[in-house]
Amino acid sequence: MDDEIICIGCGAVLQSDDPKKAGYLPAAALKKAEAGETDNVYCQRCFRLRHYNEIMPVDLNNDDFLALLNSLATKKALVVNVVDLFDFSNSLLASLKRFVGDNEFILVGNKFDLFPLNSRQSRIKDWMRQEANRMGLYPSKIFLISAARQKNLDELIEYLDQASQDRDIYFVGMTNVGKSTLINAIIDKMGDIKDVITTSRFPGTTLDRIEIPLENGHHLIDTPGIMSTNQLATRLNAADLEVVSPKKPIKPATFQLLPGNTIFLGGLGRIDYLKGQSTSFTVYAARGVKLHRTKTANADDFYQKHVGELLTPPTGENYLPALKGQEYHTDYKSDLLFGGVGFVTVPKDCVVKTYTPDKIGLGIRRALI
C-alpha cells in the first residue's frame, strides 16, 4: 500500500516520525494500519481525546465493574488507586480490600501541586497511610504527584515500569481524581509504550476499559471512573466545579475568631466556633470560594439570604441539599475537612461545628501544615 493514511479523527496524514507533529502514531501501529490490519485509525492525540472523554463513569455497585474487580484477585496484578488529595477520604476505594487479594496495592495522591509550598510530604503520606489502614487497605507505596503539572511523575513511572515486568497494572479511582490526566501524562512520559492504545471490553460485560500495551508484553489498564454521591464533584454543576477546583497552590486566609463566630466557605461549607480562646483559624480553599465571617447567631439567616450571590459557589439558584453539621473537639492542632472544597486549620482545644450540603466530605485530621 503506498497511499497515505489519514487519521479519521482530525484528517491529518498519519506519520511516525515526530510525536510533536499532527498525525503522530507510533511506528508499530502505523505499520499495522499500512498492512491493512486495522481500520478506522486515529492518531495518538485523537485517540486520547476520544477515549478519555468517552469512557463512561460507573457506579460502584455496577455488576460489570464488580466482575472486573473480582477478576483481579485471580490474576497477578498491581492495583493503583488514584486519589484526590483534596478529597482523599471520599476518593479512597475502601471496597478494594475485597478485590486486591494477594496483589500489591499502591496509592497515588494526585493534585499535590495545590498543597501550600511548605507542606511536609512525610506528614501527608502518614495521614494517607493511617486513613487507608483504617479502611483495611495496606498500600505498599504511596506517591504524591501532580498529573496536570507533571510533578513527581518520574519516581512513579519508574516504579510502574519495574512492576510491569511481570504483571499488568490496573488503575482504579473515583471520577474527577485526575486519573485520565495521569494516564495521559504516563503515556507522554513512558518511552516504551508499544502501540496505539486500544479500548477493550472486559469479557462477558458491557464495560469498556482502556488497555495500553507495553513493550514488555504487559499492559496498563484504565478502568472506568466510579461515581459517588459522597463526592461534591458529582453534585456541582460544571461552572461551579470549575470555581471550586483550584488551579494554583492554595493561599491560606487567616481569621481572628472568638467563640460565637462563623466562617462560610461560599455556600458549600460553614464552620462555627463554639468553645475556646480567642484564636486564629486558617482557611485553605480555592480562590473562587468566597469566604465570609459572621456571627453564629445570624448565620442561618445570612445563609438563607445570601447563598448563590454573596456566598458562592453555588452560583445563582441554590441547587444543593441543605447544610448539615457535625461537632468536633480538637485534641491537637487539626484540619477540619471540607472534601473537594478545602480545609480549615484550627488550634488545639477548640470546639467547632462544621457543615456541608448533606455533610458531604466532612472530616478531621491532625494538621498537616
| Interacting residues toward ligand GDP by CB under 6 A | 110-111, 113-114, 146-149, 173, 175-181, 225, 245, 247
Give least dist CB 142 to ligand GDP, A: 16
Q: Which three cell numbers stand for residue 261?
A: 463566630
Give least dist CB 125 to ligand GDP, A: 17
Q: Which three cell numbers stand for residue 366?
A: 491532625
When the beta carbons of 147 and 367 are compared against ligand GDP, the nearer one is: 147
Give least dist CB 60 to ligand GDP, A: 14
When the beta carbons of 250 and 360 are compared against ligand GDP, the nearer one is: 250
When the beta carbons of 34 and 211 are compared against ligand GDP, the nearer one is: 211
Distance CA 141, CA 125 (A): 9
Contact call for residues 367 and 334 (beta carbons, < 8 A):
yes
Distance CA 98, CA 136 (A): 9
Q: Which three cell numbers stand for residue 317?
A: 439558584
Q: Which residue's C-beta sits nearest to ligand GDP?
A: 178
Give least dist CB 186 to ligand GDP, A: 12
When the beta carbons of 178 and 276 are compared against ligand GDP, the nearer one is: 178
Give least dist CB 112 to ligand GDP, A: 7
When the beta carbons of 103 and 184 are compared against ligand GDP, the nearer one is: 184
Pairing assessment for the beta strands 208-213 and 198-201 based on DSSP bridges: antiparallel
Q: Write the DSSP assignment of 59-77 as a string of letters.
A: ETT-HHHHHHHHHHTTS-E
When the beta carbons of 149 and 292 are compared against ligand GDP, the nearer one is: 149
Q: What ranges in the chain are assigned the alpha helix state H?
A: 27-34, 44-54, 63-72, 88-91, 97-100, 121-134, 153-163, 179-189, 238-244, 296-306
Q: Burial code of 199-229, b = ≥16 C-beta within 10 A, e = fewer?
A: eeebeebebbbbebbbeeebbbbbbbbbbbe
Give least dist CB 106 to ligand GDP, A: 16
When the beta carbons of 63 and 242 are compared against ligand GDP, the nearer one is: 242
Give least dist CB 360 to ligand GDP, A: 17
Give least dist CB 177 to ligand GDP, A: 4
SS3 annotation, 99-121 = HHCCCEEEEEEECHHHCCCCCCH
When the beta carbons of 112 and 264 are compared against ligand GDP, the nearer one is: 112
Distance CA 66, CA 181 (A): 24
**Geometric angle at alpha carbon 150, from 144 and 152, rounded to 5°:** 35
* DSSP bridge pairs for 255: 281
